[in-house]
Amino acid sequence: MTAAQKMTDVSLYIFRSKFKETRIQMIDDSKSMPLRLLLLSALASVILMANEEKQVPNCCEPESEKLAQSKVKALLKQTEPIHAPCCADMLHISGTVVLAISVDPQGNVVCVQSLSGHPLIIGVAIDSVRQWKFEPYTSQGVKKTFCCQVALRFQANEYGVKYKII
């Protein structure tokens, strides 16, 4: 037997043993396939529900004053923190959420509607904004309701969600 034949036999043996290991690995992976399919279908349904268009009532009533964002920032008295949902902190999600809000004459938020933003953050941003307090808006000495759009730039990390009104 020549050296070349010995080398070929050794290479063939290594190839066969690698093939068996790969085949065993594939068989073991096939046991977890139903679980993978279940997780994939659950993830797909969550994404579809998040992207689903819903009819949302308009927050801005016809008699409400429409204020610019700079005026709204001046009236803002108290904000609440945004608490990160289950995995937003691990995913380090960042971006902008735009909300339409309506405020009553006493300065309480009565309606919040999401216009755009990351699906994982919109829900907690709405919950936070509902707790905001504003100085009453007065026009010609009369307290009035007002509505506006508020844009929040946020960044989620392992410590929570930081946001800034822009």
Residue 17 has pLDDT above 80, yes or no: no
pLDDT category at 161 given cuts 50, 70, 90 is confident
Residue 21, SS3?
helix
The encoded tokens of residue 130 equal: 């509902």
Q: Find tokens 């735009």 and name the residue.
A: 98
Q: How far does Cα 4 stand from its chain's mean position?
A: 61
Least confident window among 3-12, 86-95, 154-163: 3-12
Of 126 and 164, which is predicted with more confidence? 126
